[in-house]
Chain A
């Protein structure tokens, strides 16, 4: 650490290096922190969360009971103890609330004044954050599994929507209408993702175990379909041609730079693909438990030097090194299946929601004070520590 600091001071290193090293260290020390709580608003499982990209302050969450909550993550109290307050809620009492489970929520990438939510009640609503009323409602024929707004799009404001219908709908926020349909899948589309690198590139994952990458400017069809065997015909049986997984593909995630694409499927596998060529990089993550019938929301760290993947795995969250496939750690804290997790790039915090109605904040645990420091305040600190936390003391009775 000191070496990094001196190198930074001397201007030897790129400032990015220090930043990367520090954020990597923080990510590696992610723990369930008793100081950070998130209000329990949801009375049912939490399907999706999203943290806005502008300030990194507000977090959206959508529950299986149709409730949408906005939390304030910023701690201005000055104490380490902080409970993330729910700023506002679209509760059951609201007339505009989704009737059924909310599957996806997403902030408008450029402004917190708007967010989009889609639900199993076959609608997608565009909300005004101030009034908490839908500005626009799109209705579909089937349950909406997933939608996504391009985080970098400047030339279009399209929302890709994956529904029970195999056709992918593109809705334009400008006109408020469905303008385009992408055909090619044969089963419901469980997840859609825009590339963070090219604004017209869209990846879609479907229950027919295929993942297609589209250029929305091209009308004729998809650019390519991800193939787990990379076109090697000898390995693939006839029906497994051009499939990304041997089961439903229910999770999609681009890496921060958009160069790689991660997919998860119900075959308990996670695969890393080169998003430019569609080639399977054959990174082995081992078994990633996944029996969700809906979309699985997982995330990738940003700004670390080996990047990490956070993927829900049963009732815990598995942390893998992205390129080596090494399991770094398992974050265990939920008491039921975890459905979604979201990485906060600014503070290297991780938020996860699960079927046990909890949103847990995984906060880096700062290193314990050094020995010198402890010696320095030995008289006060130690006593204070013990008085603060009597629960941490052993209580061996003498007669035992």
Chain B
């Protein structure tokens, strides 16, 4: 046999077996057959090749090798002789006769290989069994010892049908049970649901007389309703406003409090709350007037901001302010006026003192429907449709579902502005709040500290401009020292609540407010550095100084402050404790200067204060962006941080030069034209080796067509194993344990009753 044929055969077999395909490539197979036809030597060689491939621990390789085998088995007597001679091993490798050597993964291919091998052995037995004794023996071995079912193909259908029928029957039984239970449940729950629905409807009627459950379908189609606002009878002077929204923002989205312009707004809001909580109204009485004054100042600004933000409720907002103005100007709270509101998307309902009970009932009902009734009804519908139950049942369930959904839809249409009862009641219902006011835009949570906030947006962020107002009560003092232009603001109950919440948040280190507080305390005010628009800011910063004074713990030096210590620095030596036996010359008291000095002094360590990094690296990145890392001095990727323009070029000349130099050096190391992919393309085109392999990173998979066995191993278990059975981990654990043992040994080794365990 020629060497070339040999090589060709090896190559073909390897290609065929590592193709990973379920079927062999016919052209290559033909070539193999052509070579094998020539002589028995070729068949010998092929047999060994195939057997070695069959021994590979990969079922795809084995399957392909097996297919080659079966192709040749039917053709060559010599091959049959060889294979039958080693039939035991062949069966072990393909039919899994030895339970100690299971077929390798992947599992599906292994299963396929096994069934294919069994079928093939059967067909071989049919055609060659009489001539090749060992083949017959192997067949009988499979049949009698391994109990392989050769009639699988026919038998399976019968068995499968039976199994299928059985399964169907079982499923039917299960479904029947389920339908029965669902029926029973429905009987029980139907009344309850209907009661809930009625209640909901009547609640809604109470809230919104012209809005009944029945006209829900029409609500959607009707463009807009002009409805008299329901607040008129309640006597509340404020229509629905964005108070909740703002509250929400101050709670959640607050990052920045800078100017004092928002204070007025706060005051304005506070007023509304004051009315709600009448009990606490008295204490805020006098501040209220001042708050109103303030508000007038900020009015314009606020309007602007509202326009920026919400187009939908803008109108009402303006009305709100008009009305506020009216109240402020006239000074009386009218009970008689009414307002027509254009509600663009639908209705807006505000929770007030009066309808609070109703609204809370609505909330409860809504929750009941969403969490309990609707899922139950949906479950029934599912069960009925799956089990193919009677139409009547299904229709009833569907009706229920429809009415429930209608109720929900209507509830949604109402757009009830709920009070923030979340904190008042319990934290667990926090999520509900979000559900209710879904007509508000979600403001994305801001990350990090943003020093530059445009003036007109500041209130937008729902921020208290002065750092002191929202700070902890301890720091309230500076607020009082505000310039007279800003009189002490109303300390109404709601604002105190707001404050309290803020303080709470500040205590929580995970909250943004905490960071903010640190920033506020450490950073000089932004307003100070920028062109100071308001004089108060610089003043306030000077006011802040006493706060910055170090607080020291109480000590002896403070205790004796300004006093002469009687016996400081004196050491009384008692040389002997004996009663009467005293050595002759003993100086009983020793003056120690050092000690004396120490008692009057104090060490204060001054590590400096933390300043957060505000600059970015801003080195140009490959994708055209600038590096956003905020390191203090040195970026781990781009070296020292230098000032750069908006294109990322350094301002200073020497920095620019240095970077250019580095770039040049890098280019020399890896010239541009040696781009790896380009090189590969060139190589492919010219066929010359330009040593592009040198730059290829990582190990290339040897047989890319085979499915990767290691890939399957990436399970949570394997990942855990990697961690737990990590060498260093094991060593560490062993170390700790041996240390514990040793300690025990050292302690108790000479006590025999401990020594034994």
Contact = CB atoms under 8 A, between A and B. Distances in A.
Q: Do A and B bind each other?
A: yes
Interface of A: 32-34, 40, 43, 315, 332-336, 355-358, 360, 389, 391-397, 400
Given A333-B133, A391-B128, A400-B37, 12 more contacts: A32-B133, A32-B134, A40-B144, A43-B144, A332-B86, A333-B134, A334-B137, A336-B145, A357-B144, A357-B145, A391-B131, A392-B77
B128 A40 contact: no
Given A336-B145, A391-B127, A33 B140 contact: no
A396 B73 CA distance: 11
Interface in B115-169: 127-128, 130-134, 137-138, 140-141, 144-145
B743 to A, nearest CB: 39
A400 B133 contact: no
Interface of B: 30, 33-34, 37, 74-78, 85-86, 88, 91, 97, 127-128, 130-134, 137-138, 140-141, 144-145
Given A315-B88, A335-B88, A358 B140 contact: yes
Given A357-B144, A358-B140, A395-B75, A332 B85 contact: yes
Nearest to B133: A34
A394 B133 CA distance: 18
B131 A358 contact: no
A40 B136 CA distance: 13
A396 B145 contact: no
- Among A336, A392, A400, chain B packs the most CB atoms within 10 A around the CB of A400
A389 B81 CA distance: 14
A392 B131 contact: yes
Contacts of A395: 74-76
Given A335-B91, A391-B127, A394-B75, A356 B141 contact: yes
A15 B750 CA distance: 85
A34 B88 contact: no
B150 to A, nearest CB: 16
Contacts of B88: 315, 332, 334-335
From A34, A335, A355, residue with most partner B Cβ within 10 Å = A335
Lowest 5 CB-CB distances: which A-B pairs, in order?
A: A391-B131, A400-B33, A34-B133, A335-B141, A391-B128
B735 to A, nearest CB: 37
Contacts of B128: 391
A317 B128 CA distance: 25
Most chain B CB atoms below 10 A, which of A333, A357, A393, A395 = A333
24 contacts: A33-B133, A34-B130, A34-B131, A40-B140, A332-B85, A332-B86, A332-B88, A332-B134, A334-B88, A335-B88, A357-B144, A357-B145, A358-B140, A360-B137, A389-B131, A391-B77, A391-B128, A392-B131, A395-B74, A395-B75, A395-B76, A396-B76, A397-B75, A400-B34
A328 B131 CA distance: 26
Contacts of A394: 75-78
B244 to A, nearest CB: 81
Main secondary structure of the interface of A (DSSP, over half): loop
A32 B88 CA distance: 14
Contact of A34 (B30, B33, B132): B132
A2 to B, nearest CB: 31
A333 B75 contact: no
Contacts of B144: 40, 43, 357
A180 B555 CA distance: 103
A314 B717 CA distance: 38
Contacts of A389: 131
A358 B75 contact: no
A389 B128 CA distance: 10
Contacts of A332: 85-86, 88, 134
Nearest to B87: A335
Contacts of B30: 400
B141 A358 contact: yes
A335 B138 contact: yes
A393 B75 CA distance: 8
Contacts of B133: 32-34, 333
A118 B134 CA distance: 32
A333 B37 CA distance: 28
A137 B231 CA distance: 111
Contacts of B138: 335
Nearest to A390: B131
A256 B283 CA distance: 123
A43 B97 CA distance: 18
A40 B88 CA distance: 19
Nearest to A315: B88
Nearest to A314: B88
Contacts of B86: 332
Nearest to B76: A394
A333 B78 CA distance: 18
Given A357-B144, A391-B130, A335 B75 contact: no
A396 B37 contact: yes
A298 B85 CA distance: 23
A352 to B, nearest CB: 12
Contacts of A315: 88
B133 to A, nearest CB: 4
Nearest to B86: A332
Nearest to B131: A391
Most buried by A among B37, B75, B76, B137: B137
A333 B88 CA distance: 8
B75 A336 contact: no
A43 B145 CA distance: 8
Given A335-B88, A335-B97, A397-B75, A391 B132 contact: yes
A396 B33 CA distance: 8
A360 B88 CA distance: 15
